[in-house]
Amino acid sequence: MPFKRINRNIRSIKRYRQVLGILIKYGFGHIVEQLNIDYYIELGKKIVTLGTASQDLERLTQAARFRLALEELGPTFIKLGQLLSTRPDIVQTDVLDELKKLQDHLPPVSTDEIMAQIHQELGYPTEELFAHFDTTPLATASIAQVHRGRLKDGEEIVCKVRRPGVEIVIATDIDIMMGLAYLAEKHLPGGDIYDPVGLVREFRRSIHRELDFSREARTTDRFSNNFINEDAAYIPKVFWDYTGQTVLTLEYVDGIKISSNEELIAAGLKPEVIARNGADIFLKQVFIHGLFHADPHPGNLHVLPNNVICIFDFGMVGRLDDDLKLHLTELLLCVLNRDVDRLIMQLLYSGDLHDESKIKDLKRDLTEFIDDYYDILLQDLKIGKLLIDFVRILTEYQIKFPSSLMLLSRSLFAMEGLGKQLDPNFNMVEQLKPFAEQIIKDRHSPANIAKDAARTLQAYQALGKSLPRDIKEFVNRINRNKFKIDLEHRGFERLITDLDRSTNRISFSLVIAALIVGSSLIMQIDKGPMLFGFPILGLLGYSVAGFLGFGLAIAILRSGRM
């Protein structure tokens, strides 16, 4: 079989039928057919019967139908949609807007199941662990639900508990996603450009990290240490004795949601100060610590007295190393300073652009892009939107950026929107420039130059040691006739599939024709068993030929290709 990556256990096959059926229900049957999945699974019958979306669904946009399909497909696909909403490089604007509406809410799990999960993880029943445990959840989501409680020492807490059995559902769905991603890469136009397999791998890594609450607890502690001397930020405390892989217990913090302007003002807080504090905290995460909160929506940001911002939920974070921070900073400064030539040099230096004709076209598009922002006043310039638009241009030229930059684009856009909501005069450019300039200054300091020189010298030293050995191995392989080059053909799988199908139909047709010819000859001979005056063998041959011919006609009609 030419495709062996599809998991074939019964649970997966059943889930395949469900997934493909929902995609067809919402009007994506043409994509399912292009994936050619029936050929690869070889079930002997079609996984689904192709149809069309209902009239009510046809009135919706394709982006809206895609969102609804993800919501019906369940927790794993909702999480995938949330990941896609951070990827403006591969998702169109209308789809991005719809994916932001994804509802990550499910009916709550029964209290008995939640308590059993806590008991299994922490080793004691809830009545021994907590002085009080509220059976009504504060919030429910696809992976976990949150309950309030109180420890024996009187400390108010929130307890985040993973839904029992959700990891099995996610594992099955990721197997299916990976199979569909391989098919999409082979059969859908542009599949190799958008790297669906790489996207699913990134998603698998992300959701596995999110399933491990002890990892989130460590990340929370790390943020707390990063801002331990920061008066404007507060991170809830982790109670490690009540935390594990499926349970996370945090300090309960009562604050005002950052988007509730009227409540903030009524409490004597200053929205304009909160806007500046929020931007300052976020930019410090990015440019100083290299670890930033990647989901800064209002539900995860509450305001405490003295305009202090409390940050929740560190399940989704982004990371930037020193080189990536410098690269990002120089790109932003190039755009802000409208320096197209330096911008192109940065892309050339990063190794993402080589073709001369593409360089000319990219320079033209970047010049037009910067001209579009030329007349916009700095206080009206939206850095988040600018970065997203910039990434989209680079995507057209197949210049790939790390996923952390995509997360940063969305997070920066969200923080900028919150800042404007709090203070119409808020200006992210003024907040960002000092950080960017400091990074450039530090990069060109004598200490950093010496550090880079030492690193380069070490790299050349390692190369000098390994080069003679590598050359010797290369020559030895040639002498032993062991040197070979592996070539991989791509894009022929669908052609091979169609040729196989056509050959099978022709062979089937020849068998039917032979049966008809043979039966006709038998009908001319009045020998053997007779029925109604005709030879039984001839009648039997005609019957078999008719049955097989009818089956072949049905198969051709179902395929949609005459």
Q: What is the pLDDT of residues 161-215, one digit of tens each?
A: 999 988 888 888 888 888 888 877 777 766 565 678 877 888 888 888 889 999 9
Residues of the chain with pLDDT under 70: 1-11, 33, 36-56, 86, 88-89, 103-106, 189-194, 335-336, 346-357, 373-381, 398, 400-403, 482-483, 485-498, 526-528, 532-533, 557-562
Burial class (CB in 10 A: 0-12, 13-18, 19+), 544: middle
Distance from C-alpha of 292 to C-alpha of 314, rounded to nearest angstrom: 9
pTM passes above 0.85: no
Distance from C-alpha of 2 to C-alpha of 39, rounded to nearest angstrom: 10
Half-sphere exposure (Cβ direction) of 385: Cα atoms closer than 13 Å: 11
pLDDT at 560: 53
Percent with pLDDT over 70 in the chain: 81
For 286-427, where are the alpha helices, taking DSSP H only? 322-336, 340-349, 356-374, 383-396, 403-422
Cα distances (angstroms) measured from residue 138 to each of 117, 126, 162, 302, 459: 17, 17, 14, 16, 53
Residue type, 313: D
Would residue 322 show up in a list of annotated catalytic residues for this protein? no
Q: For the chain, what are the domain ranges? A: 105-253, 260-444, 446-482, 493-559
pLDDT at 464: 81
Distance from C-alpha of 145 to C-alpha of 132, rounded to nearest angstrom: 17
pLDDT at 356: 56
Distance from C-alpha of 411 to C-alpha of 321, rounded to nearest angstrom: 17
pLDDT at 305: 94
Distance from C-alpha of 213 to C-alpha of 216, rounded to nearest angstrom: 5
The residue from 254, 295, 380, 498 that is catalytic is 295
Residue type, 228: I
For the four alpha carbons of 22, 26, 29 and 30, in that order, the dihedral sign comes to negative
Among 269, 236, 240, smallest CA distance to 251 is for 236
**445-480 b/e with 16+ CB inside 10 Å = b?**
eeeeeeeeeeeeeeeeeeeeeeeeeeeeeeeeeeee
